[in-house]
Amino acid sequence: MVSKKPRIVIIGAGMAGLTAANKLYTATGFKDQFELCVVEGGRRIGGRINTSEFGGDRIEMGATWIHGIGGSPLHQIAREIHALESEQPWECMDGWSEEPTTIAEGGFELNPSIVQPVTTLFKNLMDYAQGKMIEDSEGSEGIDYSNLAAKAFKIRTNNGGQEKLSVGSFLRNGLNAYWVSKKDQGELKGYGNWSRRLLEEGIFGIHENIERTYTSAVKLGRKVTGIEWQPEGHESSDKQNGHAARPVKLQFNDGSNMLADHVIVTVSLGVLKAGIREDSGMFNPPLPPFKSEAISRLGYGVVNKLFLQVECHDLSKFPFLQMVFHRPESEFRHKKIPWWMRRTANLCPIYSNSSVLLSWFAGKEALELESLQDEQIIDGVSATLSSFLSQPYKQVNSNSHELCNGNGKSVENIHGNEVKVTKILRSRWGTDPLFLGSYSYVAVGSSGDDLDKMAEPLPKQSSAASPPPLQILFAGEATHRTHYSTTHGAYLSGLREANRLLQHYHCVGV
Ligand SMILES: Cc1cc2nc3c(=O)[nH]c(=O)nc-3n(C[C@H](O)[C@H](O)[C@H](O)COP(=O)(O)OP(=O)(O)OC[C@H]3O[C@@H](n4cnc5c(N)ncnc54)[C@H](O)[C@@H]3O)c2cc1C
Ligand SMILES: *[C@@H]1O[C@H](CO)[C@@H](O)[C@H](O)[C@H]1NC(C)=O
Ligand SMILES: *[C@@H]1O[C@H](CO)[C@@H](O)[C@H](O)[C@H]1NC(C)=O
Ligand SMILES: *[C@@H]1O[C@H](CO)[C@@H](O)[C@H](O)[C@H]1NC(C)=O
């Protein structure tokens, strides 16, 4: 009898799904203990983390902050992968000017002069592997990276064969070729038992691990439309070649399907709310009441970000604008300011001197923002800027030029600077069918217990003697009792469900 590896399918390549996949993969020593697959309905990974570009600046359309850095696993990772630095300016970079700190096991803080060359090497090798040009072939240490990569590509396997080189072996060949080509820099002192080579290998390993989470079997454009499961367990179900058929069947929007032993569902609470509506047919049979009631009771809101590119003579003078509005029904209100602007707390450049301004919107104002034309938004914001920025200018220079707010798009700010909104970019979390909102909250009538119910796997264990079948597991921010709504909550939930499966199969996990 051929033994069959358990097949685990993870639905969603957001923080929770990728974390679970990475944990299942790495905890088993990369030994392919499971058939592991991530299916993602969208065309990119990251889910509600959506880094983008606007007006030449790097921006975040979704999650922006690592909430609380002390002891945060995400802050740790962000530091390790150098995500806290960038060559391009980024949102709220002011005050983040510190160099990241890299620390080796045992508490040895590494000087950037050790870290940087390895990072550069890795980047150049990846560029080569992806067929990109290596821009600067003469590296900082006088290393010709193109030549080195070409060598790494040609190194044959031990038996002299012509096997196809995996990206992983190519990278390792590259590291070895690097060591051969590099002039001896002498041993490092003061790093305990760490030699320079071990440190370099360790730093290289960080990059490999990041790459692994990107390049493992994530299938994009695979939207799950149906999940068939066996609430009564499946011991008695049909047998194939001496073992039970995989109990869960996934249907995809292209009509194809896939069988699995375990499915980790990480779709948002909004997608689950839509999925339990009678007409949806997402779960077959439908989820049991304890689960669907928790899904219904918990709250799931819409938050959107609006980025505006402005033209302004002296951007450094654009204020961190905090707006105090009249009540929406007040007779004193400025009629041209649209209602959806009136609950926006502030409007400010994403870092000092950036020509990109940012505003956050929530609730029905956020949904309205998704439905408007770009032009309507530009008009509404311009009217608001006009109302807020022109007045002080008037007071200071009451005898000079006319205010140019006649067309509602071009206004003078506090310092006599013309501010013109030229283009906008807004997130659309509420109407995107893969999210249907932004993040969950404990609504009136729900409680932390509902979050725990969200996390319970299905079907329920039938008796204490038999192991739980773990057909459908749930991860995602809305399944974490204390850190729901955050990226680290999503991260921890992904680890939790991966560990549940590892324990089930008596793997080490943690
Ligand atoms: C505007 C905004 C600002 C935020 N700010 C912060 C912040 O500053 N700090 C913070 O910690 N958190 C913030 N968050 C919350 C944070 O982004 C989320 O909590 C976290 O990213 C959720 O991760 P997840 O894996 O649970 O879900 P998701 O990221 O939603 O991942 C689920 C994945 O499933 C996919 N999917 C959905 N349906 C299907 C289907 N039927 N078939 C296949 N795939 C499907 C989706 O495309 C998605 O990729 C913010 C969120 C938003 C929207
Ligand atoms: C180095 O390794 C030796 C032997 O394994 C060990 O006894 C020693 O404590 C280590 N030193 C440091 C600084 O970790
Ligand atoms: C912003 O730009 C102005 C003018 O170009 C310059 O004087 C100022 O130092 C800049 N401020 C910052 C924080 O970069
Ligand atoms: C993610 O960012 C892109 C811009 O790069 C944008 O077009 C898309 O709408 C964003 N997704 C959501 C759900 O806001």
What does the pLDDT look like over 256-303, one tens digit per residue?
A: 999 999 999 999 999 999 999 988 989 999 999 999 999 999 999 999
- Tell me, in angstroms, the distance from the centre of ligand 4 to residue 427's CA: 6
Nearest residue (by CA) to ligand 1, atom 10, is 486
Q: Which amino acid is at 300?
A: Y
Return the closest-CA partner of residue 460 out of 231, 281, 138, 265: 231
pLDDT above 60 (res 218): yes
Task: State in Å: Cα 193 to ligand 2 middle.
Answer: 6
Q: How confident is the model at residue 397 (pLDDT cuts 50, 70, 90)?
A: very low
Cβ neighbourhood burial of 244 (10 Å; 0-12, 13-18, 19+): middle
Q: What is the pLDDT of residue 292?
A: 97
Give me 360's structure tokens.
């956050």
211 in contact with ligand 4, CB cutoff 6 A: no
Phi, psi (degrees; rounded to nearest 5) at 39:
-110, 130
**What is the residue type of 35?**
E
Q: What does DSSP assign to residue 408?
A: S
Instruction: Name all residues whose Cβ lies below 6 A of ligand 3.
Output: 316, 352-353
Own/partner contacts of 480-485, CB < 8 Å, gap of 24 or more, are: 480/451, 480/455, 481/448, 481/451, 481/452, 481/455, 482/448, 484/439, 484/440, 484/441, 484/442, 484/451, 485/439, 485/440, 485/441
User: Ligand 1, closest atom to CA 440?
Assistant: 19
Between residues 104 and 113, which one has the greater pLDDT? 113
Nearest-Å Rg of the Cα atoms of the chain is 27
- CA 353 to ligand 3: nearest atom: 1
- CA-proximal residue: ligand 2, atom 6 (nearest): 193
pTM across the whole model = 0.74
Query: Which residues lie closer than 8 Å to 464 by C-beta, 6 or more apart?
Result: none
DSSP letter for each residue of 203-220: HHHHHHHHHHHHHSSEET
Ligand 4 atom closest to Cα of residue 52: 5
Pick from 105, 188, 189, 193 the residue to mutate for probing ligand 2's pocket: most ligand atoms within 8 Å of its CB. Answer: 193
Could you give the CA distance from residue 383 to residue 227 in angstroms, rounded to a whole number? 49
Q: What's the 509 CA to ligand 2 centre distance in angstroms?
A: 27
Sign of the C-alpha dihedral computed for residues 265, 271, 273 and 275 taken in this order = negative
Strands (E), 12-107: 35-39, 51-54, 57-60, 102-104
For ligand 4, say whether the CB of 431 is within 6 Å of any of its atoms.
no
Assess whether pLDDT exceeds 50 at residue 97.
Answer: no
Ligand sitting nearest the alpha carbon of 37: 1
CA of 323 from ligand 1 middle (Å) equals: 29
Q: Which of 16, 117, 61, 1 is nearest to 493 (CA)?
A: 16
The average pLDDT across 196-209 equals 81
Tell me, in angstroms, the distance from the centre of ligand 4 to residue 6's CA: 35
The percent of residues in the chain predicted with pLDDT above 90, rounded, is 44
Is there an atom of ligand 4 within 6 Å of 177 CB? no
pLDDT at 401 over 70: no
**Which H helix or E strand runs over 248?**
strand 248-252
CA distance 56 to 53: 6
Lowest mean pLDDT among 109-113, 366-370, 450-454, 468-472: 109-113
Angle at 414 between CA 411 and CA 416, to 5 degrees: 65
Stretch 452-472: mean pLDDT: 90
| 456 burial type by CB count under 10 A (0-12 exposed, 13-18 middle, 19+ buried) | middle
Index of the ligand 1 atom closest to the CA of residue 252: 42
CA distances from 487 to 14, 72, 344, 491, 499 (A): 9, 10, 24, 6, 18
Residue 91's closest CA among 59, 136, 65, 137? 59
Given a cut of 80, whether residue 39 has pLDDT beyond it is yes
* Residues in the ligand 1 pocket, defined by CB under 6 Å: 11-17, 39-42, 47-49, 62-65, 67, 223-224, 266-268, 271, 303, 305, 427, 429, 434-435, 438-439, 476-477, 485-488, 490
Question: Which ligand has the shortest distance to the CA of 435?
Answer: 1
Q: What is the pLDDT, as a whole number, of residue 238?
A: 46
SS3 of residue 296 by DSSP = helix
> What is the Å distance from ligand 3's center to 393 Cα?
21
Distance (Å, whole) CA 270 – CA 440:
8
Pick the closest to residue 413 from 358, 347, 361, 360 (CA basis): 347
**Which ligand 4 atom sits nearest the alpha carbon of residue 434?**
13
- On whether the CB atoms of residues 423 and 311 are closer than 8 A, the answer is no
